[in-house]
Structure 1
């Protein structure tokens, strides 16, 4: 048997599988292929969670639960998943709200004489549509984590 970098291969494969699932789910749901879903953040399942959890589970299998490497991977996985459900999810929700406000303001008459609308009209000329898929729901993160752990236990350590 030959050795390969089991942890790296398993982690990258976890990310790839999650991104492919996300793209297929998007294709089924919207009946349209999106390259952005193939590489972008957000959506179900979380590719970030799949990647870090497969790495953590892989380190567990290779080094054991008492190893420093396993402890470090668990910390990295928890930080990554917390960030996906917290900061990045909030940023996506803010982007949705801002995009909604911009659509409302764009539908207003050009010169209403109201200062707020005049400011909004001036701002709309330089504001692009913001990306809304950035973070994850707890379900999306948990699904990615489960995918990653299962993959780490299915993949052989040696080939």
Structure 2
């Protein structure tokens, strides 16, 4: 158990994710002037917590195992796949959900009957900027974590 609790690479990645989620909450408050606690558990938005997590993981592995290690290569490839997926498939799924929700509203307005369907979740993926900021946050958080602890 001690080994798990003292795994700095693991905790740096987890804390980078938590930090990104907290930043999302504060950005939402700054823009909308209200707290929306659900933001702590949502995917999508600025910054990408998935990108922060995998970037912190890869940075931590690189700092502990070396940039020439197979472990670092695995972590970097994983990070690339996660970030690519966030801007590709997950983003497209979110855009599709947004359009479907708009269509549901139009049909309801035209026919004015039937129950209102529960809207599909639209905030699934990320823009390139959200992923880049998340990745930068993860790298900087990992560098700070290993520099000070």
Q: TM-score, structure 1 length as denominator?
A: 0.85
The residue aligned with 1:42 is 44
State the Cα deviation string for residues 17-55 of structure 1 (Å, max 9, x = none): 100000110111112211221111000000000000000
The residue aligned with 2:91 is 89
Q: Which has the larger radius of gyration?
A: 1
The residue aligned with 1:129 is 119
Distance in 2 between residues matched to 1:158 and 1:33, nearest whole Å: 32
**Aligned CA-pair RMSD:** 1.8
State the Cα deviation string for residues 74-113 of structure 1 (Å, max 9, x = none): 0100000000000000000001000011111111134xxx
SS for the counterpart of 1:95 is helix
SS for the counterpart of 1:42 is coil
Aligned length: 145
Q: What are structure 1's unaligned runs of at least 5 residues?
A: 111-120
SS for the counterpart of 1:108 is helix
Which aligned runs of 4 or more in structure 1 are off by greater than 4 angstroms?
A: none
Q: What are structure 2's unaligned runs of at least 5 residues?
A: none
Aligned pairs (5 A) from 1:1-159: 4-110=6-112, 125=115, 127-156=117-146, 159=149
Structure number with the higher helix fraction is: 2
Distance in 2 between residues matched to 1:26 and 1:11, nearest whole Å: 23
Q: Which has the higher contact order (CA 8 A, sep 6+)?
A: 1
